[in-house]
A and B are shown apart, each in its own frame.
Chain A
Amino acid sequence: MRHTITVLVENEFGVLTRVAGLFSGRGFNIESLSVAPTLDPTISRMTIVTSGDDQVLEQINKQLNKLISTIKVIDFTGQDYVEREMAMIKVTATEKTRAEVLRIADIFRAKVVDVTPRTYTIEITGAPSKLEAIIELLRPMGIKELVRSGPIVLGRGSKGWKGTE
């Protein structure tokens, strides 16, 4: 089962390795991981997508909490949250396909951020399923390069965690 976990950690060198090492040392898989500082520059927010059964997830949560550098762990499993991922896709654009690439980008409300005589580079944000859908549509045109950020999430509703709890 897929799980999305947010970990708030001290913004110090080596913390990312501690978290990643925790997963690799126990044979847990990280499907994606995105990390950047929060409003409070001393705290970084990691969004980790992983998979496993309930017991694996319980251990992951406990082990993350056990790290001295961890401030808070939020498991979004079973919660209502907003999820966004960004991708940039460099797709082949020949005379025959240029219009179709633009049409698909338009349908998905993606932006063209770079153009060459042979390619378009498209920027898109959305839920991972949306990104996967556009990738599948563009694949036949010839995708030359693709980069995805991994999802970031925020819980729905008015409650927020600003780092001063």
Chain B
Amino acid sequence: MKMTGSKILLECLRLEGVETVFGYPGGAVINIYDDLVDSPIRHILTRHEQAAVHAADGYSRATGKVGVVIATSGPGATNTVTGIATAYMDSIPMVVVTGQVPTPLIGNDAFQEVDIIGITRSITKHNFLVKDIKDLARIVKEAFYIARTGRPGPVLIDLPKDVQVSTTKFVYPDTVELRGYKPTYSGNVRQVEKAVQMILKARKPVIYVGGGASLADATGELKNLAEAIQAPVTTTLMGMSAFPRRHPLSLGMLGMHGTYYANMAVTESDLLIAIGARFDDRVTGKIATFAPHAKIIHVDIDPTSIKKNVRVDLPIVGDLKEVLHRLVLKLAESADEVDEQVRETESWRREIDDWKQQHPMFYKASDTVIKPQFVIEKIRELTQDDAVITTEVGQHQMWTAQFFAFSHPRTFLSSGGLGTMGYGLPAALGAQVGCPGRQVIDISGDGSFQMNSQEIATLVQHRLPVKIAILNNNFLGMVRQWQQMFFDKRYSQTCMELPIDFVKLAEAYGATGLRATSPDEVEEVIRKALDTPGPVIMEFKVAREENVMPMVPAGAGLNEMVLAS
């Protein structure tokens, strides 16, 4: 049967199991939107294309499915760029479909024409311009395959308008044949055996986990490994919910705003087992003093991540779930040696426990002013560890990472690699669409919130009961903190001088707005928000010049932490 390009696209999406797409219509995708009317696919209309991409990203992170976005050509396409770059940096599987001017007009500076293939080449895992309708079904199949396999990432399909309206016989390929793209899944057997030997020899092992562990759904295998060898586990921001924070082996986050004991453990370790992490500069601090005594095993599906920033003694390229499973099985074959190793490393765990006692994560509580950390602890307490939390970017993001104590995988969604302000609200929107039965909360600063606050409208329109906690200090807090600590308190352009009435803003959109101005109001506001149907904005007027501590100054070693401001 012959079908139009727009119908073929929607049929391909359906066959890929896509139930929901996020997007924004326009002239270059009007045919797709027309066919959406008759399609079973749910469309969520955001108020900005950037938010549509973040929403698809949040949907993907919370559910593990591929997020899908539709945007029009020109400005619609360029508005997706920040969202795509965010997803690319954090390896989120996503397919973005952009409209394009008709093929005869491409390159002619047509109305709303932009070379989105060129623009997104460096921020997508791959991108396609569909010049012939006969290629469309194959390209969609390949796009989903590329997005979700290997190291996941965003794939863009640029679809000219004439291809959308022309017709061809629809055949969806059963298989994908990409002769140059064959991700390694199994991991080298000998390398796994070598890893076992290195683990058995180690006396101060530390497991360092990145976002890859959640992406590979390898959190169970990770826990098995950690418990088998009783190795302490530290995570990056992206790896935050991959290992339960209240597990006795958890060290919390390492790096610039990591725990004292995580950073000390890495510095003193003699074996670092890096799992799905990429040694970001926010994690390593000064490279020369990063894990100076440690042999490094690095397990990752992406070979380019290995030896990129730090020396690696044993690389293992493969799917984390599979490699960790085999590693645990191999360790089980040497059960006696493992038992002995666990006995030998007892003193190492005691040393770490001492660090935990001496320098716990803490903040100075107050009876008179709301401390942001207190709000975060209260949200955790009142949601009983069961909420999906998104954050924007800044101080509130770090406090959430430090004080929330995540227990379950895929419950902490945050822009790690790109650090995109304005991510959290649309990501929460997407997570709520993907997980309708769960409580989704966006923890935000007043600065970040204002970058995509228009999406309250989307929440209200689609009756998405996302709760937004704005920790309002009337500052761009993290930059202000740096200005305080390193620029002699010259607060250049970091004071948000116009105080916004966020309660009224919520009400203007038809949402509920609540405000707490003193510590004794915090719990009541959170309880009321959780009990109120529909979207709620909670504004907490927090201590204005509270700092995120501890902190490794940029360029310093992990063991050179500043513990208090």
Contact = CB atoms under 8 A, between A and B. Distances in A.
B180 A59 contact: no
A13 B307 CA distance: 32
A67 interface: yes
Contacts of A62: 303-304
A10 B180 contact: yes
Given A10-B180, A14-B129, A21 B121 contact: yes
B8 to A, nearest CB: 21
A21 B122 contact: yes
* Interface range for B: 10 to 19
B178 interface: yes
Nearest to B178: A68
A68 B117 CA distance: 15
Nearest to B180: A71
A72 B304 CA distance: 16
Contact of B304 (A9, A25, A59, A68): A59
* Interface range for A: 20 to 34
Contacts of B118: 17
A132 to B, nearest CB: 35
Contacts, number: 37
A35 to B, nearest CB: 16
Interface in B184-202: none
A40 to B, nearest CB: 11
A59 B117 contact: no
A100 interface: no
Contacts of B308: 59
Contact of B302 (A58, A66, A68, A71): A66
Nearest to A164: B179
B125 interface: yes
Contacts of A58: 307
B126 interface: yes
B159 interface: no
Given A14-B129, A68-B126, A55 B307 contact: yes
Most chain A CB within 10 A, of B117, B129, B304, B307, is at: B304
A64 B383 CA distance: 46
A105 to B, nearest CB: 43
A17 B119 CA distance: 11
B265 to A, nearest CB: 27
B341 to A, nearest CB: 32
B237 interface: no
Contacts of A68: 125-126, 146, 178, 180-181
Contacts of A59: 304, 308
Contacts of B117: 14
Contacts of A17: 118, 121
B167 to A, nearest CB: 24
21 contacts: A9-B180, A10-B179, A10-B180, A14-B121, A14-B129, A18-B121, A21-B122, A59-B304, A59-B308, A62-B303, A63-B304, A65-B303, A66-B302, A66-B303, A66-B304, A68-B178, A68-B180, A68-B181, A69-B180, A71-B179, A71-B180
Interface of B: 117-118, 121-122, 125-126, 129, 146, 178-181, 302-304, 307-308
Interface of A: 9-10, 13-14, 17-18, 21, 25, 55, 58-59, 62-63, 65-72
